[in-house]
Amino acid sequence: MPELPEVEAARRAVEENCVGKKITKCIVADDSKVIDAVSRSDFEASVIGKLIVAAHRKGKNMWLQLDSPPFPSFQFGMAGAIYIKGVAVTKYKRSAVKDEDEWPSKYSKFFIELDDGLELSFTDKRRFAKVRLLKDPTSVPPISELGPDALFEPMTLEKFTESLHKRKTEIKALLLDQSYISGIGNWVADEVLYQARIHPRQAASSLSDASCSTLYKSIEEVIEKAVEVGADSNQYPNSWIFHSREKKPDKAFVDGNKIDFITAGGRTTAYVPELQKLSGSIDVKETGKPKRQASKKVSGDDDTEKPTDGEEGDLGNVKSKKGAKAGVKGRKPAIKKKSEESDEDNDSDAQVEKKNPGNVTNRKQVGEEKVSKKRVQSNQTGRSSKRKAK
């Protein structure tokens, strides 16, 4: 998903090309999953005629400051991207849409035309992004809950080291925690840990002062380099693990060293066992718990970030469907699946029972009456048979 470098590239493109210009036209998609808590007509009416004063970013979120509130805010999710017609804006590869034949793209969620004819579109083909209209984006979630921005608000080395020594969390999980540092996502976390030669599942509290210092410098250098080249991954150094992190395990190498893949912080993680040693008793193969914890924790970004990435999110649904079919003694899995997927149905049933509590009593009474009748009948039958015997 787009991380700090990609979102910063979008912010800078807007700053360089759109600031100081007036919005003359706005088209907002009729998509309540992405357009959050505001109607398209109200959204459009609120921004037309407004001047773009600035473009801001914190973590993986960006917003446009207009000459008066409310302001459009963009949470990029897994595939959000900014397009400016006629302007090259680096996009995360999974965010790319083909706009040669159609403009704005069919995936456009927010489109504006400026008074000089320039056109901008925020697209999201995966529909995990959020576009909001807010009076003060910094005062409400998700932005209000973010930790210091990794580029604009870096901690001092001393504070960074002190904070790590207080955390028993695995280091990658901590770096992905947007309330700790905002802007670092999966690929950036893998890169900085590789450059610092730290195992992704090493407890943060166990890192030496020297390792903390190395990691601090790695975060600074990786983010600054990625931002410097406009998040164009073709310009990232050849020594970065980035270029091989999505290759097949047996074909993934960096500087001649084999890359392995584990789960850390709930995410598929690339690391080099030869260089990133794990100290302590943690078994690297035990990846289930962190994954479950992360899926519960994720709320709003992403990130947070929700399925680990778009493909895994979709595959998860496919797997659950296959699992239901694979259960040869199929009824029980099907019932279980229904209960997991349809909370509303369960709630409705519960409400019906609450509304008609007498039904249960009546059923019991009817049952008891039937039993008593059977007993009476059996007693009568027994007596008559005894008389006949006599």
Please indicate whether residue 2 is annotated as part of the active site. Answer: yes
CA–CA separation, 114 vs 85, rounded Å? 11
Contact 153, 57 (CB under 8 A): no
Phi (first) and psi of residue 375, to 5 degrees: -65, -45
Contact 50, 66 (CB under 8 A): yes
Residue 242 makes CB contacts below 8 A (sequence gap 6+) with 187, 190, 191, 233, 236
Contact 34, 127 (CB under 8 A): yes
Name the residue type at position 298: V
Please indicate whether residue 3 is annotated as part of the active site. Answer: yes
Phi (first) and psi of residue 111, to 5 degrees: -130, 135
The single residue of 3, 44, 170, 191 carrying the catalytic annotation is 3
- Can you spell out the DSSP letters for 15-76? HHHTTT-BEEEEEE-S-TTTB-SS-HHHHHHHHTTPBEEEEEEETTEEEEEESSS-EEEEE-
Name the residue type at position 52: I
Contact 124, 118 (CB under 8 A): no
Please indicate whether residue 273 is annotated as part of the active site. Answer: no
Q: And the tokens for 135?
A: 């009076």
Residue 37, judged by CB atoms within 10 A of its CB (0-12, 13-18, 19+), counts as exposed
CA–CA separation, 43 vs 308, rounded Å? 31
Contact 188, 305 (CB under 8 A): no
The single residue of 2, 104, 137, 307 carrying the catalytic annotation is 2
The single residue of 50, 58, 60, 306 carrying the catalytic annotation is 60
Residues with catalytic annotation?
A: 2-3, 60
